[in-house]
Amino acid sequence: MKKIIAANWKMNKDRAQARATAEELAAGLSAGRASGRSVMVFPPFLAIAEVSKVLGGCADTVVGAQNFYPAESGAYTGEISLAMLADAGANWVLVGHSERRHVLHESDSLLAQKTQYALSRQFGVVFCIGETLEEREAGKLTDVLTRQISQGLSGVLDLSKSLLQEKLIIAYEPVWAIGTGKVAGEKEVLEAHALVKDVLAKQACDLSSLPVLYGGSVKPANAQALLALANVDGLLVGGASLEAKSFLNIINA
């Protein structure tokens, strides 16, 4: 399995900046610098079309969106549909990122609805999970990750296993490590990823073969060590993905 390196640009870059970064990234990818890697880029909505045009010709590279609403159309002010995203060139979505859970208060039930909706319409989903510092210190890691996975994937278990294996990725991001400069230690990452694989294996259909990414203050300096850990199938990168050179260094770690 190729390691998956995903970039979440969050609320950064206008269209010109996004295009320039994508062009620099495409040049690095086309130069063969991403051998053995699958690359994903999640720009802000208004930059998706620009980035998709630039990266569309790069092998093993997909463009996705950071959010969507699970309806075809309608009176959902401020939201965006999968059809609109597909028209812009996106075919993957992030679901359940900690900022959606904890800042925008998206519930487990809504995240389950979004996950089922996207997968049933042939969109790929990177489903994000992770505990807060308070939850970890209270010994609730197992309970939190088990709940997030079991409830978040509850609506997709009747879909074909082949579809789930092709279109579903899990990303473990300890909330306390996102954008803080703190990185979970080797023991903590191994513990969490082993737990995730165990919970996936216990679903109605064994999903332990799904890729599990690590995210949380990933940088070029620590990428190689993280990728070398057992059960770490790739990385979800935030701030360090905003500069193409930095992101390319992570891709090639």
In sequence order, which ranges of 97-170 are alpha helices (DSSP H)?
Answer: 98, 108-120, 133-137, 141-152, 161-167
Instruction: Find tokens 């990168």 and name the residue.
Output: 237
Of the residues 50, 106, 173, 193, which is catalytic?
173
For the question of residue 135 being annotated catalytic, the response is: no
Q: Which among 197, 180, 182, 183 has a CA at the least distance from the CA of 231?
A: 197
Number of H helices, E strands in the chain: 11, 8
Q: 222 phi and psi, to 5 degrees?
A: -115, -5
Give the integer Cα–Cα distance in Å for 41 and 226.
20
For the question of residue 173 being annotated catalytic, the response is: yes
Count of other CB atoms within 10 angstroms of residue 246: 17
SS3 121: coil
Of the residues 50, 97, 99, 131, which is catalytic?
97
SS3 34: coil
Q: Which residues are catalytic?
A: 97, 173
